[in-house]
Structure 1
Amino acid sequence: MVAMRKARHPDPDEISLIDVLGALNDPIRVGLVRVLADGREHGWGELRAPVAKSTLSHHLRVLRDAGITRTRQEGTRCFVELRGNDLDARFPGLLDAVLGAADRDDVGGHVGVANEPPAG
């Protein structure tokens, strides 16, 4: 049996503004944050974006490494959720500002969840 590597998540006090802003410099990643802002945990297989699965995996890893999301593995399935409380505690108002601007400008609106219309 092959052991699965456990994902590393930065502690809340390790989350840096530069890493968060860097992770949010891509419309796919902003779209993923918009989807995850519903407060629910989503399986990776539910997420829909106009990129290859390997590229989607890369985007999810960038968000996780920056401290924006938390990934949980259950068997062979992976689940992801937004670390909204950690981000709000570290950078009050930042997430709301990003989500508001993304909504106004429809950044990442082409990202969604299976069986649901994309954001926007």
Structure 2
Amino acid sequence: MDLGKVMSALADPLRRSVVLELLDMPQGEERTCASFQLPVSKSAQTFLFRVLREAGITWDPNYGNRRGVTVRQDDLEKRFPGLLDVLRSERDRTSSS
């Protein structure tokens, strides 16, 4: 995991919102990529999830007819301690404003 790639991936508000939605789920659970209500085309969604995966933020197991997605919480916390807490606190601060 490269800090520059992780920060670049998280700089986009839409990608950050996907990560935050995943963080609200119990650790280890996954969602399908199609389950997100994103205001972009399917090709843009594919790119969004690829950026997160290639940055090492998410893990996307491929089941043939669908893809799951989950945040690599343990790996991120080990490599960048506190980063996920910063994301959560930013969301909490902006949602209470």
Same fold (TM over 0.5): yes
Q: Which residue pairs with 1:94 in the alignment?
A: 83
Q: TM-score, normalised by structure 2?
A: 0.89
Contact 1:30 1:102 in 2 (8 A): no
Moved over 2 A (4+): none
Q: Which residue pairs with 1:31 in the alignment?
A: 17
Going by fraction, where is helix more abundant, 1 or 2?
2
Q: Which residue pairs with 1:76 in the alignment?
A: 65
Alignment size in residue pairs: 92
Which is higher, the Rg of structure 1 or of structure 2? 1
Question: CA separation in 1, counterparts of 2:88 and 2:54?
Answer: 20
Matching of residues 1-120 of structure 1 within 5 Å: 15-37=1-23, 38=25, 39=27, 40-106=29-95
Highest relative contact order (Cα 8 Å, sep 6+), 1 or 2?
A: 1
- Secondary structure of the residue aligned to 1:97 is helix
Question: CA separation in 1, counterparts of 2:51 and 2:91?
Answer: 18
Q: CA deviation at 1:18?
A: 0.9
